[in-house]
């Protein structure tokens, strides 16, 4: 068997179960779903250009009409929970009181987030597949133990057990396999299939439409590595723009990005001698910091980073005195 971590963890899986149980446990202590929703609706939050539209709708996960009749279910899609969990981890740290009754539940939630951190680090190339394969079994087991300590075994589902095999899968396959690629391909085909009414030659008609769309897209000249918009040539081998695409990632001016432990805001996208760069206004660390978020202040320093090495932040917002809270993951 090959188990899909997306469905194990995100789609009515271990993390969605964990979030719902924590939300329920917080209500007697005065922290409601509505409070989390309002915090996510804060207009000060900014998101990367590539995910901005969807991220601004994440608060809808906590709408009353989304509440499930089953107390252990959080009704949201896998992509919604993937975008939400890092923000939710920050909000939980800010809003949930550290009282004895909630401490085991908070530890279980943190352990659930840790499992997703390892998977995403391997998927993004921030850690090697071999390292992720070695660490995942222990991380998964710690979450299972923390969950049982917090809630007993009533919330344990088959997906908790299936997750224990994902580390061995990584070692076997040498790559992070998941449903996202299949789902994206499915959407391309579904868009064509929905308008095909010729049932006698249905498969042929759909495949012909998909092939035509693929051919049309390839003719637009929209490559995987390129400046977007209307680049301005400023030297024989140098062009500037406000947007670029690199390895499928779209970067825009004002996106907050990372290289290693360095953080800053994109000020310009550059193509020089066939290499893509971003000109970044550097941030200086101030105030509180964890592995997942921190407080930063803009500086007058700028650096030129190779765009292929850049990772985007999950979200950020300006707080008092111009300090920027950045959610890294």
**Is the Cα torsion angle 98, 103, 108, 111 positive or negative in sign?**
positive
Q: For strand 293-306 and strand 249-252, is the pairing parallel, antiparallel, or unpaired?
A: unpaired
pLDDT band for position 288 (cuts 50, 70, 90):
confident
d(CA 328, CA 95): 19
Query: Looking at residue 21, what is its pLDDT?
Result: 92
Entry pTM: 0.85
Q: List, by residue range, all CATH 2.30.30.490 domains of the chain.
A: 226-327
Q: What is the pLDDT of residues 141-194, one digit of tens each?
A: 999 999 999 999 988 889 999 999 999 999 999 999 888 888 888 888 999 999
pLDDT band for position 222 (cuts 50, 70, 90):
low
Residue 237 has pLDDT above 70, yes or no: yes
pLDDT band for position 70 (cuts 50, 70, 90):
low
Q: What is the pLDDT of residues 188-210, one digit of tens each?
A: 899 999 999 888 899 999 999 99
* Per-residue H/E/C for the chain: CCCCHHHHHCCCCHHHHHHHHHHHHHHHHCCCHHHHHHHHCCCCCECCCCCHHHHCCHHHHHCHHHCCCCCCCCCCCHHHHHHHHHHHHHHHHHHCCCCCCCHHHHHHHHHHHHHHHHHHHHHHCCCCHHHHHHHHHHHHHHHHHHHHHHHCCCCCCHHHHHHCCHHHHHHHHCCCCCCHHHHHHHHHHHHHHCCCCCHHHHHHHHHHHHHHHHHHHHCCCCCCCEEECCCEEEECCEEEECEEEECCEEEECCCEEEECCEEEEEEEEEEECCEEEEEEEEEEEEEEECCCEEEEEEEEEEEEEEHHHCEECCEEEECHHHCEEEECC
Judge contact between 263 and 283, C-beta under 8 A.
Answer: yes
d(CA 242, CA 252): 6
- Dig out the tokens for 122 from the structure: 């391997």
pLDDT band for position 107 (cuts 50, 70, 90):
very high
Query: Looking at residue 72, what is its pLDDT?
Result: 59
CATH topology of domain 226-327: SH3 type barrels. (2.30.30)
Report the percentage of the chain scoring pLDDT > 90: 69
Query: Looking at residue 220, what is its pLDDT?
Result: 67
């Amino acid at each position: 068997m090959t188990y899909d971590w997306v469905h194990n963890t995100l789609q009515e899986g271990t993390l969605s179960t964990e979030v719902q149980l924590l939300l329920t446990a917080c209500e007697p202590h005065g922290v409601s779903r509505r409070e989390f929703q309002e915090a996510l609706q804060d207009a000060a939050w900014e998101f990367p250009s590539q995910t901005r539209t969807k991220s601004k709708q994440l608060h809808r996960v906590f709408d009353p009409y989304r509440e499930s009749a089953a107390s252990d279910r959080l009704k949201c899609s896998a992509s919604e929970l993937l975008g939400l969990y890092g923000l939710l981890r920050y909000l939980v740290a800010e809003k949930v009181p550290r009282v004895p009754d909630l401490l085991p539940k908070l530890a279980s939630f943190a352990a659930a987030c840790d499992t997703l951190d390892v998977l995403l680090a391997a998927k993004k190339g921030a850690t090697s597949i071999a390292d992720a394969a070695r660490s995942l079994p222990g991380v998964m087991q710690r979450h299972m133990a923390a969950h049982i300590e917090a809630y007993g075994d009533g919330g344990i589902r088959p997906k908790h057990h299936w997750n224990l095999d994902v580390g061995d899968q990584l070692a076997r396959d040498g790559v992070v396999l998941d449903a996202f690629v299949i789902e994206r391909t499915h959407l391309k085909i579904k868009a064509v299939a929905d308008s095909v009414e010729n049932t006698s030659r249905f498969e042929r008609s759909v495949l012909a439409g998909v092939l035509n769309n693929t051919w049309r897209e390839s003719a637009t000249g929209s490559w995987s590595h390129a400046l977007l918009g209307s680049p301005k040539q400023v030297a024989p081998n140098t062009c500037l723009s406000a947007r670029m695409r690199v390895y499928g990632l779209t970067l825009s001016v004002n996106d907050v990005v990372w290289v290693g432990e360095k953080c800053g805001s994109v000020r310009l996208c550059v193509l020089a001698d066939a290499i893509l760069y971003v000109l970044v206004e550097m941030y200086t660390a101030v105030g509180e910091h964890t592995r997942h978020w921190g407080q930063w202040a803009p500086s007058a320093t700028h650096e030129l980073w190779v765009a292929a090495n850049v990772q985007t932040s999950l979200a950020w917002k300006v707080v008092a005195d111009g300090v920027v809270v950045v959610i890294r993951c």
